[in-house]
Amino acid sequence: MGEKILVTGGTGLIGKAIQKISINYNYEFLFIGSKDCDLTNFDETLEYFNKIKPDYVLHLAACVGGLFKNMNHKVEMYEKNIQINNNVLKSCHLVNVKKVISCLSTCIFPDKTSYPIDEMMLHNGPPHDSNDAYAYAKRMLEIQSKAYQQQYGSNFICIIPTNIYGSHDNYSLEDGHVIPSLIHRCYLNKQNNEKFVVRGTGKPLRQFIYSEDLAKLILWSLDKYNSKDSIILSVNEKDETSIENVARLIARSYNYEDNIVFDDSFSDGQYKKTANNARLMNLIKDFEFTKIENGIKLSVDWFIQNYDTCRK
Q: pLDDT tens across 236-273, in order?
A: 888 999 999 999 999 999 999 899 999 999 888 778 88
311 located within any domain? no
What per-residue confidence (pLDDT) applies to 40?
96
Angle, alpha carbons 107-109-115 (nearest 5°): 100
Q: Are residues 266 and 232 in the same domain?
A: no
Across residues 14-28, what is the average pLDDT?
95
Percent residues over pLDDT 90 in the chain: 81
Q: Are residues 145 and 251 in the same domain?
A: no
Which one has a higher pLDDT value, 301 or 177?
A: 301
Q: Are residues 146 and 107 in the same domain?
A: yes
**Residues annotated as catalytic (active site), given as ranges:** 134
Residue 175 pLDDT greater than 90, yes or no: no
279 located within any domain? no
Confidence of residue 128 (pLDDT cuts 50, 70, 90): confident
Q: By C-alpha distance, which of 223, 192, 225, 294 is closest to 253?
A: 294
Residue 27 pLDDT greater than 80, yes or no: yes
247 located within any domain? yes
Give the side-chain half-sphere CA count within 13 A for 244: 10
Confidence of residue 85 (pLDDT cuts 50, 70, 90): very high
Residue 66 pLDDT greater than 80, yes or no: no
Paired residues of 28 in beta bridges: 4
- 245 and 204 Cβ atoms separated by less than 8 Å: no
What per-residue confidence (pLDDT) applies to 270?
75
Confidence of residue 68 (pLDDT cuts 50, 70, 90): low
Q: Are residues 59 and 119 in the same domain?
A: yes
Residue 134 pLDDT greater than 80, yes or no: yes
pLDDT tens by residue, 194-220: 999 999 999 999 999 999 999 999 999
Give the side-chain half-sphere CA count within 13 A for 118: 8
Q: Are residues 183 and 160 in the same domain?
A: no
Across residues 76-83, what is the average pLDDT?
94
Q: Are residues 121 and 46 in the same domain?
A: yes
Q: Are residues 152 and 117 in the same domain?
A: yes
What per-residue confidence (pLDDT) applies to 312?
85
Which one has a higher pLDDT value, 253 or 66?
A: 253
Q: What whole-number distance in Å separates Cα of residue 214 and Cα of residue 164?
A: 8
Q: What is the CATH number for 65?
A: 3.40.50.720
Residue 178 pLDDT greater than 80, yes or no: yes
- 82 and 42 Cβ atoms separated by less than 8 Å: no
Q: Are residues 13 and 93 in the same domain?
A: yes
Confidence of residue 88 (pLDDT cuts 50, 70, 90): very high
Percent residues over pLDDT 70 in the chain: 98
Residue 74 pLDDT greater than 80, yes or no: yes
Q: Are residues 260 and 223 in the same domain?
A: no
Q: What whole-number distance in Å separates Cα of residue 286 and Cα of residue 305?
A: 33
242 located within any domain? yes
- 225 and 282 Cβ atoms separated by less than 8 Å: no
What per-residue confidence (pLDDT) applies to 67?
65
Per the structure, how many domains does the chain have? 2
Residue 281 pLDDT greater than 90, yes or no: yes
Domain that holds residue 252: 178-205+238-273+291-305
Q: What is the CATH number for 194?
A: 3.90.25.10
Across residues 88-94, what is the average pLDDT?
98
Q: What whole-number distance in Å separates Cα of residue 225 and Cα of residue 59?
A: 16
28 located within any domain? yes
283 located within any domain? no
Q: What whole-number distance in Å separates Cα of residue 37 and Cα of residue 87?
A: 11
310 located within any domain? no
Q: By C-alpha distance, which of 221, 234, 280 is closest to 100?
A: 221
Name the H helices within 207-277.
211-223, 243-253
SS3 call for 301: helix
Q: By C-alpha distance, which of 55, 20, 15 is closest to 36?
A: 15
The DSSP 8-state label assigned to residue 10 in this structure reads T
SS3 call for 262: strand
Q: Please give the torsion angle defined by the CA atoms of residues 192, 193, 198 and 201, in that order, rounded to the nearest 10 degrees.
A: -160
Q: Are residues 90 and 123 in the same domain?
A: yes
Q: What whole-number distance in Å separates Cα of residue 257 and Cα of residue 249?
A: 8
Q: Are residues 73 and 104 in the same domain?
A: yes
312 located within any domain? no
**pTM of the predicted protein model:** 0.92
Across residues 154-183, what is the average pLDDT?
92
Which one has a higher pLDDT value, 130 or 40?
A: 40
Q: Are residues 187 and 229 in the same domain?
A: no
Q: What whole-number distance in Å separates Cα of residue 289 and Cα of residue 301?
A: 19
